Amino acid sequence: MENIGGLCLILAFCLGVYSVLASVIGAWKQRPFLLVSAQRAVYSVWVLVATASALLVYAIMTDDFSIQYVWAHSNKAMATIYKFTAWWGGQEGSLLFWSFILSSYTAVVVFTTRKKHEYRAMMPWITAVLMFTLVFFLMLVAFVEHPFRILAIGRAATPMDDGRGLDPLLQYWTMVIHPPFLYLGYVGFVVPFAFAMGSLITKQPGDGWIHTTRRWALITWAFQSTGILLGAGWAYAVLGWGGYWGWDPVENASLLPWITATSFLHSVMMQEKKGMMKVWNMVLVSTTFFLCIFGTFLTRSGIVSSVHAFAQSSLGNYFVVFLAVGIGATTWLILNRLPYLKSETQLESVVSRESSFLFNNLILLASCFAILWGTLFPVISEAVTGEKITVDAPYFNRVNIPIGLFLLFLTGVGPLIAWRRSSGDALKRAFLMPTVGAVIFMSVLVSLGIHHVYAVISFGLCFFVTATIGSEFWKGSRSIAAKDNVNLLRGAIELTHRNTRRYGGYIVHMGIVVMFIGFTGSAFNIDRTVEVKVGSTFKLGRYDLKVADMKGGENENYVWNHAIIEARSGNELVATLKPELRKYAVSGSQTSNVAIRRALNEDLYLNFAGMTADSKVILQSYVFPLVSFIWVGYWVLLIGTLICLVPSKIKLQYAKMEVVGIARQPQPVEN
Amino acid sequence: MHPYAKFGILILIIVATLGWLAMEGVSETKTYYKTIEEMSAMGNEAQVKRLRVGGDVEVIERNGQQVKFRMIQKENGKNLTLNVIYNGKDPLPDTFRIGAQCLADGKMGTDGVFQASRIQAKCASKYEAKPGVKPGSSSYAKPTTS
């Protein structure tokens, strides 16, 4: 089986190389048969990679511990679902998983565009870019980090009785789907990038590549968002420290392409509606793609210390070469095609929607740069001063909190400000009420004793954005309700359906607002670590927590102890929580299973940290106000994204068609 | 004034503010990576600067909230050890265990024991062998830091 798997990967690599060459030569020399065979090679590669993946999964499922990868990442006792996750649990398998997703995406792109004549010129180049990226990963998986290596002593294969298995901490449902979602998001951005490059190479004048890839970009952005949130949710519910984001280099690496992708999703609107920011969009889509590759490089190269990084390996050098070649070629291509990327309109006023988009982009990029700088600070400092220095969470928070608040402000301002230029009166009409409302709301918060500056500003901005978005829905829905004689809810649904992109976008913004409420809640966290005897009570915030009992036991896997904690608010028993401490027999590792009482207003979070010598329970107890808003906000964001993907009922005419006398002469088009 | 000039000034102000915040952030939180050997050579400076040191965890003693452990680092064929006391507020990660690789942030105490305020242990998902280590060998099962 390992031989067939290995052969599949080598054949896939060879066919991938053929596909790239056939696409390029076919397009260059105008040889249709080469182009057709290149596309067939794409499907063949998919079959081969899928076969190799299926063989690896089969080996894991059937406990074939003669294969080193299976032995290292699975064992007999693991549940079937966790065995399946071993596919991407290690270096080699995750590279195969990358290749499988990319191969699937490529096959889907080729299949769905096969009859679209408008892509005839671009498709060979799109195929070449996609397959070039795939060939890189196939090279790694076929020749460098091979997943089908067998365990052997001398020349004899040596199957082991059982494998090492997956760490107990990872046997949690969000960890099953967190990596695939992140990978789907990371890999997915190859497609918009390939279309952008195809457009540049063939000197396409318009923004056809944006129309085509907008859905790809949105879907992959949703995958990235989901992957990031699942990771945060896992850290919160499993790791026992109560946090959801630690600014670790690898966490940052997943955030960087998300930020540039967010920026791209905004700035493409400028190109579609105003013919502006064409170069910028090329830069953004390329940056997002290369940051996706960079994130993979960071996780696997060992360039920076991270608790999430894979083992040190020689992979880093390959990634450096790929990034250098890719960035160099892309930069040259963009510079060479600048005449085709000139803006059709100019910025007329700082107080305009165009300007708010530009600010949004630049601020997002500033955040991206600050995070990248902090992440690579050890590398930079070592290169400059010879000393390896790292920066911690306070650095990231200090820079990113003001950025986040400014972006939140723009979220409220952008949609209501007019294109081209906004007059003072128009601004007053749009923003007076939301601003007054936000100021009153902030005053009320201060009078209630909330003096945390950032928190007050954040809550005020959340109010402001909610008011501006709400007013947009209110005005539109009321108008439709009156005209069509339907109720307000039907009016709102009709309004959203007429322009799903705009109103879906507003719902995404509302999701962000709700998440910001959750983030802001962390300013009021309460924590207390106590050593208490059974029967004793201690206070945490509004709760009286009583250690009612201790129970223990064991099974074949671990010894467990849990404390039974009664949480009372006033005289009312609000929850009985059972944080648990486990000690695993084989590994000797100790894990804490936290107990959480979740509520919208606050979570009560208990971690059983251990016992003292005199049999007191060591309990780390926390109250996390508003943290549930983060998870609720994610669902709102996802719903908004899905609405954006639904075709609008009414075909929109873009404003740029109405702009007269400002546009420059269109640039000559070469075919 | 041309809109682009106004825009440029606003951006300059924003970037300058962020730059200042970043500089402040760096100077407040910077932590020096040191090996145990380098730390020993620092003398009293190790008691002033915030340091990060990594190694394999050996011998953990838990006494209530206080956790003492020994960290071992292999350098130039030598096994260097460092005694660490963790007095931090956050719970120790579950991945912190004997044999795990961890990073300790803190300062060297006057008694030669490293006073850690933060401990990170290798993420459970990434336990793999160092390159070149044979499967089945005793060191294979150890997690590795990057």
pLDDT in tens, A262-302: 999 988 888 887 777 788 889 999 999 999 999 888 877 76
Contact A393 B29 (CB under 8 A): yes
> Do B122 and A307 count as a contact with CB atoms less than 8 A apart?
yes
CA-based nearest residue to A218, from A567, A671, A644: A644
Mean pLDDT, residues A150-157 taken together: 69
CB atoms within 10 A of CB B35: 15
Of A153, A359, A395, the CB nearest to B25: A395
Q: Could B94 and A589 be called an inter-chain contact, meaning their C-beta atoms sit closer than 8 Å?
A: yes
Contacts of A227 (CB under 8 A, 6+ apart): A178, A179, A180, A181, A182, A183, A184, A185, A254
Interchain CB distance below 8 Å, A391 and B29: yes
Q: Name A83's Cβ contacts closer than 8 Å, sequence gap at least 6.
A: A60, A61, A74
Going A212 to A218 to A224 to A226, the CA torsion angle's sign is: negative
Chain A residues in contact with B126 by the CB 8 A cut-off are: 307-311
Residue A578 has pLDDT above 50, yes or no: yes
Contact A402 B21 (CB under 8 A): yes
CA distance A88 to chain B (A): 10
CA distance A482 to A255: 44
Backbone conformation region of residue A288, classed left if phi is above 0, alpha if psi is from -120 to 50, else beta: alpha
Structure-block tokens of residue A162:
């059982």
User: Which residues of chain A have a CB within 8 Å of the CB of B91?
Assistant: 240-241, 592, 607, 609, 620
Q: Where are the beta strands (DSSP E) in B4-146?
A: 31-33, 51-63, 66-75, 78-86, 101-108, 114-121
Q: Which amino acid type is present at position A243?
A: G
Give A308's contacts in chain B (Cβ within 8 Å).
123, 125-126
A1 vs B145, residue with greater confidence: A1
Nearest chain A CA: its distance from B136 CA (Å): 9
CB pairs under 8 A between A and B: 178
Yes or no, beta carbons of A388 and B33 under 8 Å apart: yes
Whether residue A589 and residue B11 make contact (CB cut-off 8 A), yes or no, is no
What residue in A sits closest to B92 (Cα-Cα)? Answer: A241
Q: Which of A387, A527, A618 sits opposite B64 (nearest CB)?
A: A618
Chain B residue at shortest CA distance from A350: B3
B94:A591 CB<8 A: yes
Per-residue pLDDT at A335 = 92
H or E element in which residue A569 lies: strand A558-569
Q: Which of A488, A485, A425, A433 is nearest to A464 (CA)?
A: A433
What average pLDDT does chain B have?
75
The segment with the largest mean pLDDT, out of A45-54, A68-77, A181-190, B68-77, is A45-54
Instruction: Check CB contact under 8 Å for A311 and B131.
Output: yes
Centre a 10 Å sphere on the Cβ of residue A424 and count the other Cβ atoms it contains.
Answer: 8
Pairwise CA distance, residues B11 & B4, whole Å: 10
Among all residues of chain A, which has the CA nearest to that of B94? A591
Mean pLDDT of B8-13: 84
Nearest beta carbon to residue A370 from set B4, B18, B65:
B18
Query: What is the percent of chain B with per-residue pLDDT over 70, rounded to a whole number?
Result: 80
Q: What is the pLDDT of residue A586?
A: 62
Both tokens assigned to A451? 């003096």
Nearest to A350 among B6, B17, B95 (CB): B6
What pLDDT digit, counting tens, does each position of A14-51 carry? 999 999 999 999 998 888 899 999 999 999 999 999 99
The pTM of the full predicted model, rounded to 2 decimals, is 0.86
Report the complex ipTM. Answer: 0.74
User: What torsion do the CA atoms of A432, A434, A439, A444 make, to the nearest 10 degrees?
Assistant: 140
- Average pLDDT of span A588-592: 72
Both structure tokens of B127: 């336990």
Residue of chain B whose alpha carbon sits nearest to that of A241 = B91
Where do runs of H (alpha helix) occur along A275-352? 278-301, 315-336
CA angle B129, A382, A395 (to 5 degrees): 90
Name which residue leads in pLDDT, A157 or A454: A454
For B122, which residue in chain A has the nearest alpha carbon? A307
E strand or H helix at A623 = strand A617-625
Nearest to A349 among B3, B17, B63 (CB): B3
CB B135 within 8 A of CB A68: yes
For the residues A554-582, what does the mean pLDDT come to? 88
Q: Given an 8 Å threshold on Cβ–Cβ distance, is B146 in contact with A392?
A: no
Nearest Cα residue in chain B from A66? B135
A107 in Cβ contact with A43 (< 8 Å): yes
Distance from CA of A612 to the nearest CA of B (A): 4
**Beta-carbon separation of B91 and A241 below 8 A:** yes
For chain B, what is the total number of helices (H) and then of strands (E)?
A: 2, 6
In whole angstroms, what is the distance from residue A167 CA to residue A74 CA? 10
Closest partner CB to A307 (pick from B3, B91, B123): B123
Mean pLDDT of B69-96: 81
Confidence band for B64, pLDDT divided at 50, 70 and 90: low
CA distance A146 to A6: 8
CA distances from B77 to A320, B34, B73, B74, B80 (A): 30, 18, 10, 6, 10
Beta-bridged to residue B58, according to DSSP, are B70
Which chain A positions have a beta carbon within 8 Å of B18's beta carbon? Answer: 366, 370, 399, 402-403
- B144 and A311 within 8 Å at the Cβ level: the answer is yes
Q: How far does the CA of residue A497 sit from the closest CA of chain B (Å)?
A: 35
Nearest to A394 among B15, B29, B129 (CB): B29
Residue B134 has pLDDT above 50, yes or no: no
**Least confidently predicted of A5-19, A179-193, A651-665, B56-70:** A651-665
Which phi and psi angles does B118 have, rounded to 5°?
A: -150, 135
